[in-house]
Amino acid sequence: MSRLIFILLDGLRYDVALSSMGFLNHLIEADKAALYLVKAELPTLSRPGYATLFSGTNSSIHEITTNTYLKPSPVPSLFHLAREKNLRTAAAAYSWISELYNRAPFNPLTEREQENEENPIQFGRFYFEDSYPCTHLFADAESLRKKYDPHLLLIHPMSIDFKGHLYGGDSKEYQQEVMFVDSLLASLIPVWCREGYHIIITSDHGMDEKGMHGGNTLKERQVPLFTITPLIEAGYYRHEIPQTAIAPLAARMMQLENVMPLPFKTWPGWQEEKIVAFKKAR
């Protein structure tokens, strides 16, 4: 069964990813990666965005419309699909991910480290402060990867979003953090590629110049989707694709299409010929 590393860079805008992520853009120029422009679903908030990214549905279906939603997701996720196939799942992620897919509310005293093979996310390292350094987060993820060899590994740093809220999406500090995360990926992606992983890198929402998100502006809605996989031809793809396409794409990469429930099929492009061959619509 194929293995996937899903990297969710919270708060990353498309235009800043295009201009400031030198390593990832190098991979595209070297014909080793692809970049798509994704239109994030409304509202452009984190918890609704997470639910969309891992279910392939929008807020009118998964019914998670605010960041104050404190119950497990009511619709199946990639983690649930993987567990149905007895695949191993892991996440180094913000505590809201644990609340959506393992247990809510999150208890920071007892649930920072989770190891329960009955959970949708079996092995977790969950942080609960937005300022948690991305260096620590990637170290958490590598520890999980090496120890448990998961088929689905989520890596979810908050540092880009944190700097955006502090200084604004047009600030030097926001751009510097994007560049720093790109440099961390430069040290890890070659290792993951040698070991045969499919890789998805995307975001839940963007960030406006004032450090806000939740609305309908381009800076809040346009986010990147980088893919590093033999299933997709390398290159820059300028046409806009829906955020609901990402979960079905991830399921295809993991060969989970035969357990894909109805919510994953709500976007008509979920079929293999349209997911794998996005290049036809350039």
Mapped to the 3 state alphabet, what secondary structure does the chain carry? Answer: CCCEEEEECCCCCHHHHHHHCHHHHHHHHCCCCEEEEEECCCCCCHHHHHHHHHHCCCHHHHCCCCCCCCCCCCCCCHHHHHHHCCCCEEEEEEHHHHHHHCCCCCCCCCCCEEECCCCCCCEEEEECCCCCCHHHHHHHHHHHHHHHCCCEEEECCCHHHHHHHHHCCCCHHHHHHHHHHHHHHHHHHHHHHHCCCEEEEECCCCCCCCCCCCCCCHHHHEEEEEEECCCCCCEEEEEEEEHHHHHHHHHHHCCCHHHCCHHHHCCHHHCHHHHCCHHHHC
Q: Is pLDDT at 260 greater than 50 in this prediction?
A: yes
Q: What is the domain partition of the chain in residue ranges?
A: 4-281
Q: What is the pLDDT of residue 238?
A: 83
Say how far apart CA 9 and CA 201 lie, in whole Å.
7
Say how far apart CA 79 and CA 217 lie, in whole Å.
31
- Provide the whole-model pTM: 0.93
State the number of CA atoms in the 13 A half-sphere of 92 facing the CB: 24
Which CATH superfamily is 4-281 part of? Alkaline Phosphatase, subunit A (3.40.720.10)
**What band does 278 get if pLDDT is binned at 50, 70 and 90?**
very low
Q: 203 near 169, Cβ under 8 Å?
A: no
Estimate the crossing angle of helix 172-194 against helix 159-167, to 10 degrees.
170
How far, in whole angstroms, is CA 177 from its chain's centroid? Answer: 17
Q: 204 near 50, Cβ under 8 Å?
A: yes
pLDDT, mean over the chain: 91
- Mean pLDDT in residue range 38-64: 95
Per residue in 69-115, pLDDT (tens digit) is 988 999 999 999 999 999 999 999 999 999 999 999 999 999 999 99
Per residue in 162-198, pLDDT (tens digit) is 999 999 999 999 999 999 999 999 999 999 999 999 9
Beta bridge pairs of residue 202: 8, 225
Say how far apart CA 42 and CA 48 lie, in whole Å.
8
Say how far apart CA 157 and CA 142 lie, in whole Å.
13
Q: Is pLDDT at 54 greater than 80 in this prediction?
A: yes
Hey, what are 100's tokens? 């959506």
